């Protein structure tokens, strides 16, 4: 009787081992990749909501949708970041699964602390050639509102902040 139970147990382990997947090309469900966080942005105290989501399930022709909703509940910013721009020139991304994992990781790391700038512009900071609007740059020095930066492609980055004067989100620095 013990031999039968022992053989049955071994058979179960063998079947389980044969059915386990070790193939690294296994597809992961990337249909619902999104992240949300809160941070002061339009105000130095109240928290606005930042959301980013991967729009589709393919890397090519896809987009990351980035939105900011003010603490008052209205959407104040939305942009689409072309995924083709994020993955181009990255020779390490050979398979579709690699590309989608890379994009999924971009979503996960979109709101890391290094992207939130407190304040957006330091009081002694001078405008340089990357500042598209010197008047807005000076406004941010005065208001001390926070900024946020994100990649729009492999080599490009935008820095955005709330303009209290214009009541909208504007770019204050471009790389």
pLDDT tens for 81-112 read 999 999 988 889 999 999 999 999 999 999 99
The verdict on pTM exceeding 0.75 is yes
pLDDT tier, 166 (very low <50, low <70, confident <90, very high otherwise): very high
Residue 1 has pLDDT above 80, yes or no: no
CB 155 within 8 Å of CB 149: no
Q: What is the pLDDT of residue 30?
A: 56
> Does 132 or 90 have the greater pLDDT score?
132
The domain ranges of the chain are: 30-174
What is the per-residue pLDDT across 148-159, written as a single tens digit (0 to 9) for each?
999 998 789 999
Strands (E), 41-98: 47-54, 63-69, 75-82
Residue 169 has pLDDT above 80, yes or no: yes
Average pLDDT, the chain: 85
Q: What is the pLDDT of residue 20?
A: 30
Q: What is the pLDDT of residue 163?
A: 98
Q: What percent of the chain has pLDDT over 90?
A: 74
Residue 4 has pLDDT above 80, yes or no: no
CB 117 within 8 Å of CB 147: yes
Q: What is the pLDDT of residue 59?
A: 92
């Amino acid at each position: 009787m013990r031999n039968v139970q022992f053989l049955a147990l071994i058979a179960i382990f063998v079947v389980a081992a044969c059915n386990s997947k070790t193939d690294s090309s296994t597809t992961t469900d990337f249909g619902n990749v999104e992240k949300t966080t809160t941070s002061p942005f339009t105000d130095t105290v109240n928290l606005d909501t930042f959301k980013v989501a991967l729009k589709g399930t393919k890397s090519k022709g896809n987009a990351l949708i980035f939105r900011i909703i003010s603490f008052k509940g209205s959407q104040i910013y939305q942009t689409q970041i072309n995924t083709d721009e994020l993955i181009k020139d990255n020779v390490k991304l050979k398979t579709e699964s690699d590309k989608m994992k890379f994009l999924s990781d971009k979503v996960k790391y979109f709101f890391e602390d290094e992207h939130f700038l407190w304040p957006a512009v330091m009081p002694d900071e001078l405008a340089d050639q990357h500042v598209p609007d010197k008047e807005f740059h000076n406004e941010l020095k005065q208001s001390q509102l926070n900024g946020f930066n994100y990649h729009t492609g492999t080599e490009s980055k935008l820095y955005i902040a709330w303009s209290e004067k214009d009541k909208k989100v504007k770019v204050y620095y471009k790389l």
